[in-house]
A and B are shown apart, each in its own frame.
Chain A
Amino acid sequence: MVQSFPRRSFLGGSAALAALPAGAQAPAVPLSARPLSESRGLVYVLNSRDATVSVLDAVTGAERAKVPTLREPHHLVYTPDRREIVLGDSAGNEFQFLEPATGAVTRRLRISNPYHLLYSPDRTMLAVASLRRDQIDIYDAASFELRHRLAVPDMPSHIAWTPDSRVAFFTLQGNNSLAAVEAATGRLLWKARTGKTPAGIVFDARHGLLVANMGEDNVTVQAPEDGRILRTVRTGAGAHNVFPSPDGLFHYVSNRVANTITALDAPSLAAVRTLRAPGAPDCLDFSADGRQIWFTQRVANRVGVIDIETGALTANIPVGRSPHGILFHALA
């Protein structure tokens, strides 16, 4: 594994990946002497202000590689076949594809300002929210040909799909609203009010759309048919994003201002637990065994690790500036 990362000279050298050997960067700061994780894996962290990806060893927390991007990477997802990770570099106007097991760059694609991106469940389409040009795009997932582009008011931020891939939902951060777009036609189906500064959004078949309202302390539950608010669930100040746990039992909400992560019981949406998460928590992912939360501490230039069972913050790992998107890739 380690040998697969080429070295990088001071000026960049000839290595395409600009990677470093294990342990060459600032070490993890585990808060206990035990290994960080029982799950083998690589954790990909997008350092948006450094234009790099930190690739962390999930067991030791050591930085295994630092992969350069062009300008400003924010979000990342697996490609539908899970053979690649694709990250959106918004200011660099580029998708960069990585091999999940090594972090090697497999290809790049020019694309206008991709901020958030999400494949449709049927794997045929890719939705892109462009925060800096007030447009949302739907691409063909295989060819990346633009199918539809729609101008929307003020800061399209995060995306969710219906399970049937018929409708894509976009939070409009600067407009306190949510837009539903018919994927086949690119037609705006409806626009509905949310709380203040909506950011993260997920589709939950039991409840509807869960929208984290960063300008408030809550998640609104909204009807997929017309966007009406069905109920409001209090989490913590600056509710930023929502992440379903791998076992489907909880939704975890990062609260940017409160510096906490709230666990919502998925069937009832009751707030059952509040975890301390310093450093303005942003995106998070779960270890392969589901026992840890790895989250980016946006202003502290670190990644935090929380043991879900105890709720303790078990590590605080230095990464690059303004870490945003994060993905835990399990290794066999």
Chain B
Amino acid sequence: MIDWIGDAYLSVKVWLFETLLLPLLYGAGWMHWEEDAFEWLDFALLGAVTVLVAYIICRPLEAALPVERRGADEPSTVGTDVAYTLLNRLGLVPLFAFVALQPLEIAWAALLADAGVIPPTLETAIPALRDWPLLTFALYVVIIDFAEYWRHRFQHRFGWWWALHSVHHAQRQMTFWTDDRNHLIDDLIGGFWFAGVAVLIGVPPGQFPLLLLVMRVAESLSHANVRLDFGSLGGRLVVSPHFHRVHHALDHDEGIGVRAHGCNFAVLLPVWDILFGTARYSGVYPPTGDRSGSERLATGSWWGTQVEGAKRFARVLTGRA
């Protein structure tokens, strides 16, 4: 069965690449992007599978065990999050980040080489890991999740960063589609953040796409509108929809002090919140959103929320916030 799925996936990828993408690149004179385009296609196809799997898992749960139901006279704002998800997971936002950051990445790699710095990997630091690829991958997941925990805390701590991150928190109708709702500038900063981590520990292994898929689905599930936690033990091992809903609670947005000292910042592993005293295991499923933002930030289109987030960002930078 798995072989059949793998073969079908490969057939689709080869067909798309050979009949559509490769002739397009060739015709446009962009063949120097060919290898990157092939990787991008892989990313986009895996992203499509991820969206499909997340939908198959999350949507029935949201229908069966919803935390909140939309009122009959309340318009849906989920469409904006669907757009965010598709733009991100089908590769358009990552493509934008790649094009924007690649010249810097090349200059940075050259600078490091000139300085005699060769970024390590976990395996070069701990040679025994070469024989344990899955363990190595797991260690990368833990370290990157740790770095993401701190990035998330800083997103709440600094006013300018919160202005961007508030795009994510503005959604009052939080669903599994909300995971990818981020400002483009915030995505770029995330790219820099990851590059910084990569200098210290290298890039993670890329040979476990199925595990990446599982993690991405778990991140989607954490945003789902579903009355679900993972129990007292499970909820301390993996971020649950309940745990993350408490992070998105309305009462965390009132003033920098409250926001900075919010809770449940972890992306995948709650252990960071537990270790750093930011875990909050509440018995309630609070309403979500950000009262400090404009209505357009909460209910606008993809473009509207991007513009509104940029304006808020500019106001903070220029001291007009």
In the complex, what residues of A have CB within 8 A of residue B121's CB? 70-71, 92-93
Interface residue A283 (Cβ < 8 Å from any Cβ of B)? no
Q: A71-B203, A112-B112, A132-B109 are in contact. Are A197 and B134 (CB under 8 A)?
A: no
Q: State whether A257 touches B22 (Cβ < 8 A).
A: yes
In the complex, what residues of A have CB within 8 A of residue B205's CB? 51, 71
**CA A253 to CA B30, docked complex, whole Å:** 20
Q: State whether B118 touches A11 (Cβ < 8 A).
A: no
Contact of A71 among B26, B118, B134, B206 (CB under 8 A): B206
**CA A259 to CA B114, docked complex, whole Å:** 39
Binding-face segment, A12-20, A178-186, A266-274, A307-315: A12-20
Residues of B near any A CB (own CB < 8 A): 10, 13-14, 17-18, 22-23, 26, 29-32, 34, 38-39, 42, 105-106, 109-110, 112-114, 118-119, 121, 123-124, 130-135, 202-203, 205-207
How would residues 45 to 79 of chain A score, 1 for a CB under 8 Å from any chain B CB and 0 otherwise? Answer: 00001111000000000000000101110000000
Interface residue A231 (Cβ < 8 Å from any Cβ of B)? no
Interface residue A24 (Cβ < 8 Å from any Cβ of B)? no
Q: State whether A238 touches B26 (Cβ < 8 A).
A: yes
Q: State whether B131 touches A14 (Cβ < 8 A).
A: yes
**CA A259 to CA B124, docked complex, whole Å:** 39
Interface size class of A (residues with CB under 8 A): 35 or more
Interface residue A158 (Cβ < 8 Å from any Cβ of B)? no
The 8 sampled A-B contact pairs (Cβ below 8 Å) are A12-B131, A12-B132, A49-B206, A68-B133, A94-B124, A134-B110, A215-B32, A322-B38
In the complex, what residues of B have CB within 8 A of residue A259's CB? 18
Closest Cβ neighbor of B135 among chain A residues? A11
**CA A173 to CA B31, docked complex, whole Å:** 9
Q: State whether B118 touches A301 (Cβ < 8 A).
A: no
Residues of A near any B CB (own CB < 8 A): 10-16, 18, 49-52, 68, 70-72, 91-94, 110-113, 130, 132-135, 149, 151, 154-155, 173-174, 196-197, 214-215, 237-238, 256-257, 259, 279-280, 298-301, 321-322
Q: State whether A215 touches B29 (Cβ < 8 A).
A: yes
A47 to chain B, nearest CB (A): 9
Q: State whether B207 touches A50 (Cβ < 8 A).
A: yes
Q: State whether B206 touches A196 (Cβ < 8 A).
A: no
Contact of B135 among A12, A49, A237, A300 (CB under 8 A): A12
**CA A134 to CA B135, docked complex, whole Å:** 33
In the complex, what residues of B have CB within 8 A of residue A174's CB? 32
Q: State whether B118 touches A110 (Cβ < 8 A).
A: yes
